Amino acid sequence: MPSVTPYRRPYWDTQPEYLFPKYASTVKRAPTQPLVVLPHTLSEVTAPVFGYDEVKPGDSDLTKQHKGEPVGERIVVSGRVLDENSRPVPNILVEIWQANAAGRYNHRVDQHDAPLDPNFTGAGRFLTDKDGRYRFMTIRPGEYPWRNHYNAWRPAHIHFSLFGQGIVQRLVTQMYFPGDPLLDYDPMFTCVADESARNRLISIFDWENTIPEYALAYRFDIVLRGREQMPTENVR
C-alpha cells in the first residue's frame, strides 16, 4: 500500500495577515492595494551585512550594562538560527529589545505607569557562531497594558530582529514564554492562524542551560525560511 504524505501548509500560509482587525493598528497599516512582487536580484542575495565591527562581547548580557544590578528574575535566552534545510546560519546579527521587569520600556514614548529601572536598558545583540548559536543573559520582562481593546495586556515577550547576509535572511519576530495565560487574549499572538506556526513563537523551558542558584533558561530556535519559518512581523 503506497504511503500517504500528510498535507503541510506552504510556509506563506503560516504567516499573519496584514489586516487583522482585532489587532487595531493593522487597520491603518495594512495595504489597501495588491502587493507588487519584486524578483530577487543579486542585491537581495548579497546585500551588505550590518554591525560586524560594532558587536562587543558584553552586548549580549543585559544585566551587566550598568553599574548596578537590574531588578527582576534573571534568565538565559539561547537557541540556534537555522535555514529551511535545518542547517545552522553563522554570522547572523541577532538583536533583542524588551520591557523591564515592571513591564516598561526604557523609551520616552512609553508612559506606562510603572517604574523605570536605571540599571536596565533592555537592548542587546549577539553574532551567531559557526553552529548558528546565540545566547543572551537578561531579565524576564513584565506584562503591560497597551490599549488595543478593553483591558488589553501584552503577554511577557522579547522582540527579536535578525540581519543576515541578504534580504532573505531578514526577520523581525517576538518570543513568548510557556504557560502564559495572556497568550489566548493577545491579538498579536493569535493573528498567526496556523497553530503549529503560532506555537513556534513560544520558547521552551531549557533545564540544561539553567545556571544553578542564579538564572533559569529558555530555548528559542529560529528558522529563517521554509515550512518551519518563524512567523514574522515585517513580511507575509
Name the active-site residue from 144, 176, 198, 218. Answer: 144
Name the active-site residue from 140, 157, 198, 200. Answer: 157
Task: Give the torsion sign (CA, 138, 143, 144, 149).
Answer: positive
* Residue 144 is among the residues annotated as catalytic for this protein: yes
104 within 8 A of 110, measured Cβ to Cβ: yes
* Residue 105 is among the residues annotated as catalytic for this protein: yes
Burial 43-74 (b: 16+ CB within 10 A, else e): eeeebeeeeeeebeeebbebbeeeeeebebeb
For residue 147, give the C-alpha cell. 490599549
Dist CA 128 CA 117 (whole Å): 29
Name the active-site residue from 105, 134, 176, 218. Answer: 105
22 Cβ neighbours under 8 A, 6+ residues apart: 149, 187, 190, 191
Dist CA 166 CA 224 (whole Å): 12
* Residue 157 is among the residues annotated as catalytic for this protein: yes
168 within 8 A of 225, measured Cβ to Cβ: yes
Dist CA 199 CA 230 (whole Å): 10
* Residue 214 is among the residues annotated as catalytic for this protein: no
* Residue 23 is among the residues annotated as catalytic for this protein: no
CA nearest 231: which of 165, 177, 147, 173?
A: 173
Name the active-site residue from 104, 125, 140, 154. Answer: 154
Catalytic residues: 105, 144, 154, 157, 159
